[in-house]
Structures are given as structure tokens and as C-alpha cells.
């Protein structure tokens, strides 16, 4: 078998049929998993097609199936902190199905959002995945009555939609229980703005483990706030915390810097846990930061598989699906890097 795409141009279904010794009709049915034929013949045609470098024509495939084999990913997270891992999971889920993903960033501009949605519909996408930068805010564009399926991931979904979110309460319990397991009994929680649903869910779960009387300090998502919160805790009367659970990794870095300035050792004197597992922050913290991973890549993978099912006409039950988090233990809790 000696077929050169470089000399003959694009490998076609005719080349596959000739190389496999079958008719063009049989080759097409084998590659599209249709028709009646022996399993050995079907697998042989697929194997030969792969060996000679056959790539099905996406337009022709789309005309046959009435699909474009593309998915739109719409986001207002222009920095990409949350969207990039979600997109990695979506792409991982769809690549083996020959489906491509294209990203449209809309910031918080309704007009720009509508332009991008219209462009996706003009391209006849098989579906849209909407994602963002917080769980309790919708994108600034209405996706509820489109003629293609929509799945929401890490953003608030429309009524009766399929929505994927991380389980913030689960993540907070993992962090607080780990601190308790290390023998920490005076655990403080320094976190972000109280108007975030995720902040309230984490704070409630933290209280369930640490107790109702423990302090929760609400603030902003910044290292500066973590630094200021430590100053507030250490200027107050009474015993000081021996464990601190932070609402995100940036706050945790500010906390660790403030403790170091006071001569307080991490993790010997105070153990610190963050939230997000933002590698660029957590791994570069000194010492490296124990933190909660929201498993955004897995969240994206599940969203990708779901939009694929909807695009293929399979029934999917609507509702919110909360995915568990994972604790990544590093040196701020005295451990080596491992996931729990």
C-alpha cells in the first residue's frame, strides 16, 4: 500500500475504498458506523483509513448529518482565569469526536455578546457553552430561546437549563477538616465579598466544621486584604489563630507575607490553606500553598460531553450539577504535593 497525500493531494474516500478492497459505499458506511457489515470489515476499513492519513471532509460530513461539528464557548472572563481550564476540559471531551471549539470573549458588554451569539448561529454551531467568572451571575446576553442547545459551566444558567458548577461547600469542608486533622483548633476564615454566593457557601461549610463562634472576615479578592486581615486578627485581644483558611490563593499569599513580617512561621506556628489552586500563585508562594482545586477542567469536560449529547439529540435531564473539589496539599500545611 503506497499512497502519498503529498503527491496525490488530499486522501479521499475513493483512496480508502481502493486500499481496503471494498466499494466506496462500503467504505463510507464503515467510517460512519452505518449500514450492515461484518465487524472485521468495518475495523479493517477504519484501520486502513488511519494508516493512509484519510481525514473526512468536515463540510461533507456536516451535510450528511446536518451538523457543523463546532461548539461555541462564550465567556465574560476575559482574563481567562476560570475560562481557560474550562475550555481545556471542553476540548479534551470533544476532540475525539471530531468537534472543534471556538472561544468568544464578550467582557460585560450586552451588545458585543449579542454580536458573538449571532455570529455563532450564522456559523451553525451545534451548541453553545456559556462560562464566566462567578457562579451567581449570568452572562449579559439572553441564551434561553436559541435554536441550538446551551450548557452553562461556572456561570448562572437560565431556568430549566443544564448547569455545571463547583461545590464550594465541599471545598471549604475539605480545607477546614484538613486543618483540624493537623491539630489546629483556632481556625480563622479570611475571604472575599459576602455578596458572592460562593463566599457564603464556603463560610457556612467552614462554620459547620470549625464551629459557630469562629471569626469570618469578609473583604476583597486581593493580597492586600489578606495582609490587612492578619493585622486585624493579631491586634485583637485573646488567642491568635493557629490555622487560617483563605477564600482564594491571592488572599492566602497576603496572609503568609503578613505572618512572616511578624516572625510567625508557616506551617510550624500557623497552617494556611487557600482556594482555587491557581498554579501561578499557589506554586510560587513561599512556602508553596496548600489549596482547594475547583476541578474546572473536569467541569469543562462534563459540559463538553453534555453539549455533545444534546447536539446528537439525546435526552439530558436539566438542573444544576455540582462537582466535588480536591485538596492539593503543599508545604503551608507541612505536606508534600498530593491531591486528596
pLDDT of residue 104: 92
pTM over 0.75? The answer is yes
- Residue-level pLDDT, tens digit, the chain, 340 residues: 444 443 445 677 788 899 999 988 788 788 877 778 889 999 999 999 888 887 665 544 543 446 678 899 999 998 888 999 999 999 999 887 888 898 999 988 999 999 999 999 988 899 999 999 988 999 999 998 899 999 999 999 988 899 999 999 999 999 999 999 999 999 999 999 999 999 999 999 999 999 877 789 999 999 999 999 999 999 999 899 999 999 999 999 999 999 999 999 999 999 999 999 998 899 889 999 999 999 999 999 999 999 999 988 889 999 999 999 999 999 998 755 445 5
Q: Measure CA of the first residue to CA of the last residue in the chain; give whole Å.
A: 51
What are the DSSP calls for 127-182, one per residue? EEEEE-S-TT---SS--TT-SS-EEEESSPPPTT-EEEEE-HHHHHHHHHHHHHHT
pLDDT of residue 64: 44
Per the DSSP assignment, residues forming a β-bridge with 195 are none
What does the alpha-carbon distance between residue 330 and residue 129 come to, in Å, rounded to a whole number? 33
Burial of 121 (0-12, 13-18, 19+ CB in 10 A): middle
**Residue 293: φ, ψ to 5°:** -95, 125
Q: Containing H/E element for 328?
A: strand 326-329
Q: Cβ(242)–Cβ(214) under 8 Å?
A: no
CA distances in angstroms from 202 to 41, 215, 260, listed in the order given: 56, 13, 26
CA atoms within 13 A on the CB side of 123: 18
What does the alpha-carbon distance between residue 120 and residue 90 come to, in Å, rounded to a whole number? 17
What does the alpha-carbon distance between residue 140 and residue 281 come to, in Å, rounded to a whole number? 29
What does the alpha-carbon distance between residue 113 and residue 302 come to, in Å, rounded to a whole number? 24
CA distances in angstroms from 165 to 200, 238, 324, 340, listed in the order given: 15, 39, 9, 19
Alpha helices by DSSP H, listed for 211-334, are: 223-235, 249-261, 279-282, 296-311
What does the alpha-carbon distance between residue 223 and residue 314 come to, in Å, rounded to a whole number? 46
What does the alpha-carbon distance between residue 308 and residue 184 come to, in Å, rounded to a whole number? 46
Three-class SS state of 186: coil
Helices 168-181 and 197-210 sit at what angle, rounded to 10 degrees?
30
What does the alpha-carbon distance between residue 79 and residue 91 come to, in Å, rounded to a whole number? 19
What does the alpha-carbon distance between residue 99 and residue 21 come to, in Å, rounded to a whole number? 29
What does the alpha-carbon distance between residue 209 and residue 214 come to, in Å, rounded to a whole number? 10
Domains with residue ranges and CATH for the chain: 5-56 (1.10.260.40), 66-166+296-324 (3.40.50.2300), 168-295+327-339 (3.40.50.2300)
**Residue 138: φ, ψ to 5°:** -85, 155
Residue identified by cell 500500500 is 1
Amino acid at each position: 500500500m503506497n499512497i502519498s497525500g503529498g503527491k496525490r493531494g488530499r486522501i479521499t474516500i475513493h483512496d480508502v475504498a481502493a486500499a481496503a478492497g471494498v466499494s466506496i459505499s462500503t467504505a463510507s458506511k464503515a467510517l460512519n458506523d452505518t449500514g450492515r457489515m461484518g465487524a472485521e470489515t468495518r475495523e479493517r476499513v477504519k484501520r486502513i483509513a488511519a494508516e493512509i492519513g484519510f481525514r473526512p471532509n468536515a463540510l461533507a460530513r456536516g451535510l450528511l448529518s446536518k451538523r457543523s461539528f463546532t461548539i461555541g464557548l462564550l465567556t465574560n472572563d476575559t482574563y481567562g482565569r476560570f475560562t481557560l481550564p474550562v475550555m481545556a476540559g471542553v476540548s479534551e471531551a470533544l476532540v475525539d469526536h471530531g468537534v472543534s471549539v471556538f472561544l468568544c470573549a464578550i467582557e460585560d458588554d450586552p451588545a458585543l455578546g449579542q454580536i458573538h451569539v449571532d455570529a455563532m448561529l450564522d456559523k451553525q454551531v451545534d451548541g453553545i457553552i456559556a462560562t464566566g467568572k462567578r457562579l451567581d451571575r449570568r452572562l449579559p446576553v439572553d441564551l434561553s430561546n436559541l435554536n441550538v442547545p446551551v450548557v452553562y459551566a461556572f456561570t448562572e444558567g437560565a431556568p430549566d437549563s443544564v448547569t455545571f458548577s463547583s461545590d464550594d461547600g465541599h471545598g471549604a469542608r475539605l480545607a477546614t477538616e484538613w486543618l483540624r486533622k493537623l491539630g489546629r483548633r483556632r481556625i480563622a476564615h479570611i475571604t472575599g465579598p459576602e455578596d458572592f454566593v460562593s463566599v457564603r457557601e464556603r463560610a457556612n461549610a467552614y462554620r459547620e466544621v470549625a464551629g459557630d463562634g469562629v471569626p469570618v472576615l469578609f473583604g476583597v479578592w486581593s493580597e492586600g486584604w489578606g495582609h490587612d486581615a492578619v493585622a486585624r486578627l493579631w491586634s485583637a485581644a485573646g488567642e491568635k489563630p493557629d490555622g487560617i483558611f483563605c477564600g482564594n490563593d491571592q488572599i492566602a499569599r497576603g496572609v503568609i507575607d503578613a505572618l512572616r513580617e511578624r516572625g510567625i512561621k508557616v506551617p510550624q506556628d500557623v497552617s494556611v490553606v487557600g482556594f482555587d489552586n491557581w498554579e501561578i500563585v499557589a506554586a510560587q508562594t513561599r512556602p508553596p500553598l496548600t489549596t482547594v482545586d475547583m476541578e474546572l477542567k473536569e467541569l469543562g469536560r462534563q459540559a463538553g460531553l453534555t453539549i455533545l449529547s444534546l447536539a446528537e439529540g439525546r435526552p439530558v435531564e436539566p438542573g444544576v450539577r455540582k462537582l466535588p473539589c480536591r485538596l492539593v496539599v503543599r508545604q503551608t500545611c507541612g505536606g508534600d504535593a498530593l491531591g486528596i
